[in-house]
Amino acid sequence: MKKTTAITRNSLSGPLDDVAADAGHLEHPPRVGFFTDTSVCIGCKACEVACKEWNLVPETGFDLLGMSFDNTGELGANSWRHVAFIEQQAPSRAPEQAKATVDLPMPSFDLPGAGSGAESRTDFRWLMSSDVCKHCTHAGCLDVCPTGALFRTEFGTVVVQQDICNGCGYCVSGCPYGVIERREGDGRAHKCTLCYDRLKGGSQPACAQACPTQSIQFGPLDELRQRAAARVDELHAGGVTEARLYGEDPNDGVGGDGAFFLLLDEPEVYGLPPDPVVPTRDLPRMWGFAGAAAGAMLTAVVAVFAGSRRP
Partner 1 sequence: MSERSRSHRKGKGADDGSREAPMVPRASFESYYGRPILKAPVWEDDIAYYFFLGGLSAGCALLSAGADITGRPALRRGTRVGGFAALGLGSVFLIKDLGRPERFLNMLRVFKPTSPMSVGTWILTAYGPAIGTAAISELQPAWLRRSLPGRLIDALARPAGLSAAALAPAVASYTAVLLSHTAVPAWNEAQEELPFIFTGSAAASAGGLGMIVAPVAEAGPARRLALYGAAVELAASRRLESRLGIVDEVFHTGVAGRQLQWAGRLTAAGAIGGALLGRRSRAAAVASGAALLAGGLFERLGLLNAGRQSTKDPRYVVEPQRARLRARDVLHVAVAEIQTG
Q: Which listed option, partner 1, ligand SF4, none, makes contact with residue 166 (CB within 5 to 8 Å by class)?
A: partner 1
Q: How many Cα atoms occupy the beta-carbon half-sphere of 274 within 13 Å?
A: 4
- Compute, in degrees rounded to 10, the torsion defined by CA atoms 230, 233, 235, 236: 170
Q: How far is the CB of 81 from ligand SF4 (least distance, A)?
A: 13
267-306 binders of partner 1 (CB under 8 A): 268-277, 279-280, 282-283, 285-287, 289-298, 300-305
For partner 1, which residue of 26, 40, 67, 245 counts as binding (CB under 8 A)? 67
CA distances (Å), origin 60, targets 44, 151, 183, 270:
18, 26, 11, 21
Q: How far is the CB of 34 from ligand SF4 (least distance, A)?
A: 12
Q: With binding defined as CB under 8 A, does residue 89 bind partner 1?
A: yes
Task: Map residues 117-156 to x or -, x wherever contact with ligand SF4 holds by CB under 6 A.
Answer: ----------------xxxx--xxx---------------
36-65 binders of partner 1 (CB under 8 A): 65
- How far apart CA 304 and CA 118 sit, in angstroms, is 82
Could you tell me which of 271, 149, 174, 192 has the C-alpha nearest to residue 33? Answer: 192
Q: How far is the CB of 89 from ligand SF4 (least distance, A)?
A: 30
**Contact between 73 and 82 (Cβ < 8 Å):** yes
Q: How far is the CB of 158 from ligand SF4 (least distance, A)?
A: 4
Q: Which listed option, ligand SF4, partner 1, none, makes contact with residue 181 (CB within 5 to 8 Å by class)?
A: partner 1
Residues 6 or more apart whose Cβ sits within 8 Å of residue 38: 127, 128, 129, 130, 215, 261, 262, 263, 264, 270
Q: How far is the CB of 267 from partner 1 (least distance, A)?
A: 9
Residues 6 or more apart whose Cβ sits within 8 Å of residue 123: 89, 90, 92
For partner 1, which residue of 61, 120, 201, 238 counts as binding (CB under 8 A)? 120
Task: Map residues 155-194 to x or -, x wherever contact with ligand SF4 holds by CB under 6 A.
Answer: ---x----------------x-x-xx----------x---
- In angstroms, what is the C-alpha Rg of the chain? 24
Q: How far is the CB of 141 from partner 1 (least distance, A)?
A: 10
Q: Which listed option, ligand SF4, partner 1, none, makes contact with residue 135 (CB within 5 to 8 Å by class)?
A: ligand SF4
For partner 1, which residue of 5, 88, 213, 241 counts as binding (CB under 8 A)? 88
* Helix, coil or strand: residue 1: coil
- Compute, in degrees rounded to 10, the torsion defined by CA atoms 141, 145, 150, 154: 80
